[in-house]
Amino acid sequence: MIKVDNLSYSFSQKDLYNNISFTIEEGQHCAFIGASGSGKSTLIDIIMDKERYLFD
């Protein structure tokens, strides 16, 4: 299971996410769809790299 709860992330001049939440249960599939530069890869990086970001 992957659970994201109230995730916020921003760059110096741009808010990318503001309190997003979702859960992906085991066996479920998920697709992140959006325009180029909308933060799809950044979201995956945050989820996968627990050493680079603060988790509470």
DSSP one-letter string for the chain: -EEEEEEEEE-SS-EEEEEEEEEE-TT--------TTSSHHHHHHHHH-TTTS---
Residue partners of 42: CB distance under 8 A and separation at least 6: 9, 16
Q: Would 55 be classed as within a structural domain?
A: no
Closest CA to 21 of 41, 43, 42: 43
Flag whether 54 is in a domain: no
State the residue range of the domain holding 15. Answer: 2-48
Of residues 38 and 54, which shows the higher confidence score?
38
Residue 56 within any structural domain of the chain:
no
The answer as to whether 42 is a domain residue is: yes
**Distance from chain centroid for Cα 10:** 11
Q: List, for residues 7-39, the tens digit of each pLDDT value.
A: 999 888 888 899 999 999 999 999 999 999 889
What is the number of structural domains in the chain? 1
